[in-house]
């Protein structure tokens, strides 16, 4: 029976030598959903994405991507999915057009010329049609890479930290393109370390040690985290922040201009820590942000020394 999900995998496992990278992972993503993949470096995000798009074979587990078996039908998944890494993987000594024309030939697209012209226009690359890929800025390389990933009209797009190293404007424009594609029915699974990007996802999934530990909408993840946050504005907040960071009940004490934001999971302990630092700062409770929750999860999952 075909799954109703674009991605539906159970108990996936993958090891490299003695190191278990993905350990009993279960994941479901609905068609047309933009799903954010979060977790510390080494949590298994990239390995999972590479198994889902048919580039790595799981050691164990089962499931389907786009209705195809992830073990037995990996070549069919590769034809129907687009995969974009954080490192630019096209030919820098070819032009924008030549790169995309090459990709179209690899997929044996019958309407190759029309498809390349259409994607160049859609991605705003018309003025760079004949520019060598190697001379593009980071943001324009990113657009070209995305164009190459969706040129063959995939049903699933897997993005592995695609906006690393590009400026804020380029990241926002990239995400606008992603949302436009999702409206047309494309399913997107994207790993990111940027919390503003995670907040633009319909659902987020947090990985630790190769398995899912938290998932839901950004609001659900925040509400279920148990994180409590206080803020204060004033002078000398840097000194107060330094003292708070040394206290065991403090998840984080971050300075934003003249504002100090403090987070923890035990409200009574948090209040005691705030009171003990002295000073005339007037702390008040505020709603936690996704970044506060992410830091909490990272700290919680760090191996004890």
Span 119-136, pLDDT tens digits: 999 999 999 999 999 999
How far apart are the C-alpha atoms of 222 and 169, rounded to whole Å?
26
pLDDT of residue 305: 44
Q: Where are the domains of the chain?
A: 7-222, 228-287
List the structure tokens of 141. Answer: 């390389």
Q: What is the pLDDT of residues 95-110, one digit of tens each?
A: 999 999 999 999 999 9
Indicate if 228-287 has the same CATH topology as 7-222: no
How far apart are the C-alpha atoms of 157 and 85, rounded to whole Å?
11
pLDDT of residue 278: 67
Q: Does residue 218 come out as left (phi exceeding 0), alpha (psi in the -120 to 50 range) or beta?
A: alpha
H/E element, 274: helix 267-276
Mean pLDDT across the stretch 188-201? Answer: 92
How far apart are the C-alpha atoms of 91 and 94, rounded to whole Å?
6
Architecture field, domain 7-222: 3-Layer(aba) Sandwich (3.40)
Q: What is the pLDDT of residues 160-171, one digit of tens each?
A: 998 887 888 888
How far apart are the C-alpha atoms of 282 and 73, rounded to whole Å?
60
Q: Does residue 300 come out as left (phi exceeding 0), alpha (psi in the -120 to 50 range) or beta?
A: alpha
Q: Do residues 86 and 50 touch, judged by C-beta distance below 8 A?
A: no
The fraction of the chain above a pLDDT of 70, given in percent, is 97
| Residue linked to tokens 């000594």 | 93
* Domain 228-287 sits in CATH 3.30.70.100: yes
Q: pTM here?
A: 0.89
> What value does the mean pLDDT of the chain take?
91
How far apart are the C-alpha atoms of 169 and 238, rounded to whole Å?
30
Q: Do residues 18 and 199 touch, judged by C-beta distance below 8 A?
A: no
How far apart are the C-alpha atoms of 82 and 151, rounded to whole Å?
9
């Amino acid at each position: 029976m075909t799954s109703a999900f674009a991605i539906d995998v159970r108990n996936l496992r993958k090891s490299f030598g003695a190191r278990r990278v993905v350990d009993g992972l279960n994941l479901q993503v609905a068609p047309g959903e933009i799903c954010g993949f979060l977790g510390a470096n080494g949590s298994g995000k990239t390995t999972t994405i590479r198994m889902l798009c048919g580039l790595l074979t799981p050691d164990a587990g089962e499931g389907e991507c786009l209705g195809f078996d992830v073990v037995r039908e990996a070549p069919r998944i590769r034809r129907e999915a687009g995969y974009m890494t954080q490192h630019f993987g096209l030919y820098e000594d070819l032009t924008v057009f030549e790169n995309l024309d090459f990709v179209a030939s690899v997929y044996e697209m019958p309407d190759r010329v029309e498809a390349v012209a259409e994607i160049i226009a859609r991605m705003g690359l018309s003025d760079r049609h004949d520019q060598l890929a190697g001379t593009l800025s980071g943001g324009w390389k990113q657009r070209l890479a995305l164009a190459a990933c969706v040129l063959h009209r995939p049903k699933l797009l897997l993005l592995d930290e695609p906006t690393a190293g590009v400026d804020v404007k380029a990241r926002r424009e990239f995400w606008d393109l992603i949302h436009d594609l999702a409206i047309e029915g494309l399913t997107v699974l994207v790993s990111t370390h940027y919390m503003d990007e995670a907040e633009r996802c319909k659902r987020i999934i947090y990985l630790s040690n190769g398995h899912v530990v938290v998932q839901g909408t950004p609001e659900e993840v925040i509400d279920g985290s148990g994180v409590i946050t206080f803020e204060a504005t004033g002078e000398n907040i840097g000194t107060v922040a330094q003292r708070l960071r040394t206290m065991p009940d403090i998840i984080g004490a971050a300075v934003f201009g003249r504002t100090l934001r403090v987070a923890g999971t035990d409200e009574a302990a948090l209040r005691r820590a705030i009171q003990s630092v002295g000073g005339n700062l007037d702390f008040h409770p505020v709603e936690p942000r996704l970044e506060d929750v992410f830091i909490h999860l990272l700290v919680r999952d760090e191996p004890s020394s």
